[in-house]
């Protein structure tokens, strides 16, 4: 009998644990599943033997029969920046605590590999998919409704307004941008800003579209002239160039609202280091997101906060709710935004 103990080649299997603990293989399975009936001392013995053999149930096999892979697919754009990093980071921590693992995929923001990527991802059988409207076309994602539940972040709400949809096709995380942007504009207006420019995100981006639309509306409501638009793409470098262009070729501005924080950093550096302008004395700057870098002293950015922790909690809530109610209609969560005042307006 002791010869079976030598050289446990490859991974240990439930069968091996069962043999060693003198129980049936089914008992081993039960020992690892909480809500099954198994005599306590037996479970204890099995777990002890399992640890000796360094055994863990194979999740691929488990997924095959239970239909749950415990994988959550996350699709991020090729120009993956700080915002996405922090999202992935916090999400992974939260999902891990719930017994899930994060499966990462990169895609183009121009939708060019939509179908190919989704077919690829599909093969891994994620229980849920978190996609951003930036990265995947809604109609392409629709095919995944069989098992995985896509969740959209920043879904542009219909009707121009910001009311959640009555019966959305997918689970959704909506973001109310209006409050935060209104506070931002109010602050600029309070400091007497007359010529407000908008440093945009990527051209085809829906989040950018929604943000610009909201800004225009808010400014109009406050009796301000429409913003001048400088074209960026959410990146530091594009923002840097666009800002220089705005002042060298265009007419400049006395305040710039950037589509995201990283873009705002590019704006700030261009203003200070290239154009030799002072912030906030000559030009005021406001960003969007409130990423970790925004409190760094070189930037100390006033920005519209889209709370990371709150966002991740909402996403995890959506995922778990969906797994417990596979056939329920689309769930929705809605988060608000608010201004965080630091040193770039004043």
Which DSSP symbol is given to 5? Answer: G
Binding flags for a copy of itself, 163-202, as an x/- string (CB under 8 A): ----------------------------------------
How distant, in Å, are the alpha carbons of 21, 28, 138 from that of 71?
Answer: 31, 23, 21
* Distant-in-sequence, close-in-space partners of 167: CB < 8 Å, separation ≥ 6: 329, 330
Closest among 116, 115, 117 to 76, alpha carbons compared: 117
Pick the stretch among 91-99, 196-204, 222-230, 307-315 that binds a copy of itself (CB under 8 A).
91-99
Angstrom distance (rounded) from CA 333 to CA 314? 7
Pick the stretch among 60-68, 129-137, 149-157, 301-309 that binds a copy of itself (CB under 8 A).
60-68
Among residues 6, 7, 40, 309, which is the contact residue for DNA, using CB under 7 A?
Answer: 40
* Binding partner at 46 among a copy of itself, DNA, none, C-beta below 5 to 8 Å by kind: none
Angstrom distance (rounded) from CA 129 to CA 75? 8
Helix (H, G, I), strand (E, B), or coil: what is residue 179? helix
Per DSSP (E only), the strands in 70-148 are 71-77, 101-107, 128-132
- Do residues 312 and 90 lie in contact, with contact meaning Cβ atoms separated by under 8 Å? yes
User: Closest CB to DNA among 64 and 186?
Assistant: 64
- Which residues ranging from 28 to 57 are in contact with a copy of itself (CB under 8 A)? 54, 56-57
Structure tokens at 160: 């121009």
Binding flags for DNA, 57-86, as an x/- string (CB under 7 A): xx--xx-xxx--------------------
User: Closest CB to DNA among 32 and 105?
Assistant: 32
* Binding partner at 147 among DNA, a copy of itself, none, C-beta below 5 to 8 Å by kind: a copy of itself
Structure tokens at 282: 């000559």
Binding residues vs a copy of itself (CB under 8 A): 9-11, 54, 56-61, 63-64, 69, 71, 76, 78, 80, 82, 85, 88-89, 92-93, 96, 101-106, 119-125, 143, 146-147, 236, 240, 265, 268-270, 272-274, 293, 296-299
């Amino acid at each position: 009998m002791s010869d079976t103990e030598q050289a446990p080649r490859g991974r240990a299997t439930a069968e091996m644990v069962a043999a060693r603990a003198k129980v049936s293989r089914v008992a081993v399975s039960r020992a690892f599943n909480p809500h099954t009936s198994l005599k306590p001392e037996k479970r204890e013995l099995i777990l002890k033997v399992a640890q000796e053999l360094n055994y863990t149930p194979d999740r691929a096999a488990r997924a095959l029969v239970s239909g749950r892979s415990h994988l959550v697919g996350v699709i991020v754009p090729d120009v993956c920046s700080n915002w996405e990093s922090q999202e992935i980071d916090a999400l992974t921590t939260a999902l891990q605590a719930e017994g899930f693992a994060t499966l990462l995929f990169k895609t183009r923001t121009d939708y060019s590999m939509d179908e190919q990527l989704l077919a690829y991802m599909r093969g891994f059988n994620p229980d849920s998919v978190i996609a951003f409207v930036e990265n995947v076309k809604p109609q392409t994602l629709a095919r995944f409704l069989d098992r995985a539940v896509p969740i959209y972040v920043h879904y542009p709400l219909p009707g121009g307004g910001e009311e959640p949809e009555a019966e959305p096709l997918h689970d959704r995380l909506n973001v109310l941008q209006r409050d935060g942007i209104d506070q931002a504009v109010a602050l600029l207006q309070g400091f007497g800003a007359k010529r407000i420019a908008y440093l945009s995100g990527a051209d085809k981006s829906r989040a950018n579209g929604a943000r610009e639309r909201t800004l225009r509306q808010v400014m109009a409501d406050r009796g301000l002239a429409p913003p001048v638009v400088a074209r960026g793409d959410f990146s530091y470098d594009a923002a840097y160039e666009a800002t220089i262009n705005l002042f060298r070729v265009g007419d400049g501005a006395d305040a710039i609202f950037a589509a995201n924080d990283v873009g705002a950093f590019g704006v700030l550096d261009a203003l200070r280091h290239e154009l030799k302008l002072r912030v906030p004395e000559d030009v005021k700057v406001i960003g969007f997101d409130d990423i970790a870098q925004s409190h760094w002293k070189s930037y100390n950015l006033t920005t519209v906060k889209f709370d990371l922790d709150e966002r991740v909690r909402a996403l995890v809530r959506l995922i778990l709710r969906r797994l417990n109610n596979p056939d329920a209609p689309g769930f929705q969560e809605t988060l608000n935004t608010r201004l965080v005042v630091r040193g770039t307006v004043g």
